[in-house]
Amino acid sequence: MKVCQINCIYGSGSTGKIVKDVHNTLVDNGIESIVIAPVMPSDCKYERGVYCVSSYILNRTSAIYRRLTGRQFDGGIIETNRILNILKREKPDIVHLHCINGNNINVYRLYDYLSKNHIKTILTLHANFPFTGGCGHSYDCEQWVTGCKKCPILKEATHSWFFDGTARTWRKQMACYQKFETGNLYITAVSPWLLERCKRSPMLSRFKSCVVMNGVDASIFKPRVSNWREKLGILDSEKMLFYATASFNPYEENLKGGKYIVRLAEILKDQSYKIVVAANYGKVGELPSNVIYLGRTKTQIELAELYSAADLSIITSKLETFSMPVAESLCCGTPIVGFEAGGPESIALKEFSEFVEYGNTDALASVVERWIHKKDEKEVISQSAQNVYSKEAMTNNFMDLYKEREM
């Protein structure tokens, strides 16, 4: 059996790390594996079986084309030719598609090649792109069920400068899926919430589907001895709340909900709480005195130490298809509370988490105060979580699926 994974990135970012984990597991088990990705760190380009098909100039050119035309998924002429040539040469038994919604892949040509050649294909839904007119998060919009048009969040969803191409994208994706024989395309989703949306989609509902949750490295994300409380000046009498996010903006309404962290801090200001914020990118001015902004953590071990040091973790996202902070925090033995955001409440271990209506900061503060006094053993929480979220569990699920698809 030969498996080929295709993703917009390899070796970094959430999906890039997942693809690398699956690739390494296949190789370790003696299964022939290749990966095709337009973008990857330079040190990954020399790994066996890994093909990089783009460059900085090609990536920028494709991005500009996409923004000028509003055409989401039909750029990347050179990169797509390279991908198809690799597929013709390598002749994989199974092609596993992850996020192919970047600038560098002509999704329609790739789908057309796979369907015409009757190649067993697995499509993993990490976001909504594969069944919408081009948006990763549709929020309350339901146009993806009947046919996208006049996108209400056009610039956020597609980054188009001028044209709304969502109706065209929706129709072309629908036409591509109709070319697949029912047994040749299998869908996996990273959360039960996302799987339910898949089943409602007129594009994907006829195909078999299941949930395969994202995996975290349980050798890193586990209860760790940490001196972060001491380094941050948090007293033994104070409770530490931890908020990990890709981007932190406490001033505007955005996907990650940073402004609600400030509101929560203001509600809890007369009590013994410190909210520690770790973010890859931040727009930070004056924050409440009980908020400590760290910025970006240097390593994943540092991140795991922060989860371990915290009494509770928090998420305030508007929408997430999965939520790595849920899995990471629970694997480190720390309960998590937050807003209902789709994926998080559908993947979280119910006995160690609680979620309230999005934007209801008073309700979130009440949940924090209730959970802060619970004394579950971190090792107990961690063991339960690692059984569900470890990368070994994820890769084993994919391995089983590959073997089933091969038959």
Task: List, for residues 201-224, the tens digit of each pLDDT value.
Answer: 999 999 999 999 999 999 999 999
Burial class (CB in 10 A: 0-12, 13-18, 19+), 253: exposed
Which tokens go with 211?
Answer: 């949930």
| Cα Rg of the chain, angstroms | 22
Phi, psi of 94 (to 5 degrees): -135, 135
Q: pTM, whole model, 2 decimals?
A: 0.93
Using alpha carbons, select from 142, 146, 57 the residue that is nearest to residue 103: 57
pLDDT in tens, 13-68: 889 999 999 999 999 999 999 999 998 888 787 788 999 998 888 888 888 888 88
Which tokens go with 130?
Answer: 């594969």
The four Cα atoms 390, 7, 314, 239 give a dihedral, to 10 degrees, of: 60
Q: Is the pLDDT of residue 407 over 60?
A: no
**Is 264 within 8 Å of 298 (Cβ atoms)?**
no
Return mean pLDDT, the chain. Answer: 92
Using alpha carbons, select from 296, 202, 287, 294 the residue that is nearest to residue 246: 296
Distances (CA, A) of 115 to 75, 188, 317: 20, 18, 37
Q: How confident is the model at residue 103 (pLDDT cuts 50, 70, 90)?
A: confident
**What per-residue confidence (pLDDT) applies to 255?**
87
**Is 44 within 8 Å of 10 (Cβ atoms)?**
yes
Distances (CA, A) of 329 to 38, 79, 220: 31, 38, 11
**What per-residue confidence (pLDDT) applies to 76?**
87
Q: Is the pLDDT of residue 406 over 90?
A: no
What is the set of domains in the chain, with CATH numbers? 2-215+391-406 (3.40.50.2000), 228-388 (3.40.50.2000)
**What per-residue confidence (pLDDT) applies to 196?**
97
- Give the percent of the chain with pLDDT over 70: 100
